[in-house]
């Protein structure tokens, strides 16, 4: 069956049975993350909703349980702006679970004022990429325990704004630009999927990056009127802003990447299909390997996943 722009999570999951599958969704208290968790749970998956607001997370979990009676639904505290929090979540998860089939790296921030994470990283790069890099690598034993498994990174067409600045990824010397910072972090999401696929694909753990589309969610909460004007001007130069999607339509590509059969790993998806419509710098395998090494250096831990001893 062919899916597209208007497809929803329920369309994509029609006829798919996820009983016996275990999933983690980050940023699951609102928006696309919550809808992704609901959809996976409704198809039978046991789902852990991860996020940094315990109250909102508990409310979201209750909504998922109500929508998917009988589903196994858990929550876990995860603040991607803190490497200590990421390590604590991963440790707690692995203490209670010996396997993981679907890891959806959904959480993120967009166009934020300049800020640094608890570990000193530029906020967008630190949250959108480095936090998820560390989380994924720490959870790799569970992903490898019962393949096939999949990792889905939420990127954005916004990755076309910027490649990774290898000399100054954390804006320690260059002037901060919230749009460039966001684009860099979303490029990193794609490159991470490319390198993760190279390393773990042969073991049955496949990785994907997705562009969900233009969806009105809390992701845009930092944007000012001037930001909207600047973004519209950038978009006009490239043909204009795309039409908006509903949240179930926006989460559909995530769910498709997580569940569609015979889907080639290491690919970039939009509108529930593999597409090559992404920037050339986000497809470069050498850049993907370079990002892995840089990420290891920044988080202070080496992950020789998939390397031959």
The CATH number for 82's domain is: 3.40.50.720
What pLDDT, on a 0 to 100 scale, did the predictor assign at position 223? 56
Higher pLDDT, 223 or 82: 82
Provide the percentage of residues in the chain whose pLDDT is more than 90.
88
- For residue 304, is it within any domain? no
What pLDDT, on a 0 to 100 scale, did the predictor assign at position 277? 84
- Summarised one tens digit per residue, pLDDT across range 17-26 is 999 999 999 9
What pLDDT, on a 0 to 100 scale, did the predictor assign at position 276? 82
Rg of the chain over all Cα atoms, to the nearest angstrom: 18
Total domain count, the chain: 1
The answer on pLDDT for 227 being more than 80 is no
The answer on pLDDT for 235 being more than 70 is no
- For residue 219, is it within any domain? yes
Q: Is the peptide bond before 121 cis (omega within 30 degrees of 0)?
A: no
Q: How far is CA 82 from CA 30, 62, 77, 86, 113, in A?
A: 20, 26, 11, 6, 18
For the segment 278-301, the average pLDDT, to the nearest whole number, is: 97
Could you give the residue numbers annotated as active site? 182
- For residue 101, is it within any domain? yes
- For residue 205, is it within any domain? yes
Higher pLDDT, 1 or 181: 181
What pLDDT, on a 0 to 100 scale, did the predictor assign at position 238? 53
Q: Which range marks the domain in which residue 162 is found? A: 9-298
- For residue 224, is it within any domain? yes
What pLDDT, on a 0 to 100 scale, did the predictor assign at position 216? 72
The answer on pLDDT for 309 being more than 90 is no
What pLDDT, on a 0 to 100 scale, did the predictor assign at position 96? 97
What pLDDT, on a 0 to 100 scale, did the predictor assign at position 191? 98
**What is the band of 233 on the pLDDT scale with cuts at 50, 70, 90?**
low
- Summarised one tens digit per residue, pLDDT across range 97-140 is 999 999 999 999 999 999 999 999 999 999 999 999 999 999 99
Mean of all residue pLDDT scores within the chain: 93
Please check whether residue 191 is in contact with residue 287, taking contact to mean a CB–CB distance below 8 angstroms.
yes
Which three-class secondary structure state does DSSP give residue 262?
A: coil
- For residue 2, is it within any domain? no
- For residue 3, is it within any domain? no
Rounded to two decimals, what is the model's pTM?
0.93
> What CA–CA distance (Å, rounded) separates 244 from 213?
7
The answer on pLDDT for 225 being more than 80 is no
Of 71, 58, 37, which Cα lies nearest the Cα of 251? 37
Strands 273-274 and 267-270 come out as: antiparallel
The answer on pLDDT for 67 being more than 80 is yes
For the segment 39-51, the average pLDDT, to the nearest whole number, is: 98
The answer on pLDDT for 230 being more than 90 is no
- For residue 1, is it within any domain? no
């Amino acid at each position: 069956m062919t899916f597209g722009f208007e497809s929803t999570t329920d369309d994509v999951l029609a006829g798919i049975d996820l009983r016996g599958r275990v999933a983690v969704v980050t940023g699951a208290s609102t928006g696309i993350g919550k809808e992704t968790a609901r959809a996976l749970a409704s198809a039978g998956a046991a789902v852990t909703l991860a996020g940094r607001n315990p109250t909102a997370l508990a409310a979201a979990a209750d909504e998922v349980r109500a929508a998917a009676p009988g589903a196994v639904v858990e929550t876990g505290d995860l603040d991607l702006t803190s490497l200590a929090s990421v390590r604590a979540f991963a440790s707690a998860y692995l203490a209670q679970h010996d396997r993981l089939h679907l890891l959806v790296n959904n959480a993120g921030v967009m166009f934020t004022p300049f800020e640094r994470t608890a570990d000193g990283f530029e906020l967008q790069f630190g949250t959108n990429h480095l936090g998820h890099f560390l989380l994924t690598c720490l959870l790799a034993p569970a992903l490898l325990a019962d393949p096939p498994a999949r990792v889905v990174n939420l990127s954005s067409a916004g990755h076309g704004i910027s490649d990774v600045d290898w000399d100054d990824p954390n804006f320690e010397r260059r002037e901060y630009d919230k749009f460039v910072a966001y684009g860099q972090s979303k490029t990193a999401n794609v490159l991470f999927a490319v390198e993760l696929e190279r390393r773990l694909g042969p073991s049955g753990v496949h990785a994907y990056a997705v562009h969900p589309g233009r969806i009105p969610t809390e992701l845009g909460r930092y944007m000012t009127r001037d930001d909207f004007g600047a973004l519209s001007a950038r978009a006009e130069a490239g043909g204009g802003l795309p039409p908006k999607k509903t949240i179930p339509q926006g989460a559909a590509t995530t769910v498709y990447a997580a569940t569609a059969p015979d889907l080639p790993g290491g690919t970039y998806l939009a509108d529930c299909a593999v597409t090559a419509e992404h920037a050339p710098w986000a497809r470069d395998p050498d850049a993907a390997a370079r990002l892995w090494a840089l990420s290891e250096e920044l988080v202070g831990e080496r992950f020789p996943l998939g390397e031959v001893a």
